Amino acid sequence: MCLIFFFSSLNQETPEPPEANVAQHQITDEYPNKKRILQELDILQAIKGNKNVIGFYGAFYHPASVKMPEREGLWISMERWSGVTVQDLIKTRRSLSEDWIAYICREVLQGLCHLHKQEVIHHDLRPQNIIVTSSADVKISNSATMGTSSVSTSGTIPYMAPEVLSNISTKTIRYNSKADIWSLGISALEMAEGYYRKSDNFRAFIREILQKNVAWRPSAEQLLSHPFISNIPNERGTISIYCSYSYNILGLSYIYYNSITKAAHNKG
Write the pLDDT tens digit of every residue in 127-182.
999 999 878 899 998 877 787 767 777 889 999 999 999 888 777 778 899 999 99
Pick the more confident residue, 223 or 93.
223
pLDDT digits (tens, 9 = 90+) for 27-39: 555 555 667 777 7
Select which of 29, 99, 124, 200 is catalytic. Answer: 124
Is-contact 180 140, C-beta < 8 A?
no
> Please, which pLDDT band fits residue 184 given cuts at 50, 70 and 90?
very high
Is-contact 75 62, C-beta < 8 A?
yes
Computed over every residue of the chain, the mean pLDDT equals 78
Distance in angstroms (rounded) separating the CA atoms of residues 206 and 218 = 11
| 180 carries an active-site annotation | no
For a pLDDT cut of 90, what percent of the chain falls above it? 36
Q: Is 61 exposed, middle or buried (0-12, 13-18, 19+ CB in 10 A)?
A: exposed
Of 21-35, 41-55, 101-115, 200-214, the poorest mean pLDDT is in 21-35
Distance in angstroms (rounded) separating the CA atoms of residues 203 and 215 = 20
| pLDDT of 81 | 76
For the chain, domains (ranges, CATH) are 20-79 (no CATH), 83-250 (1.10.510.10)
Distance in angstroms (rounded) separating the CA atoms of residues 162 and 96 = 26
User: In the beta sheet, which residues pair with residue 121?
Assistant: 147
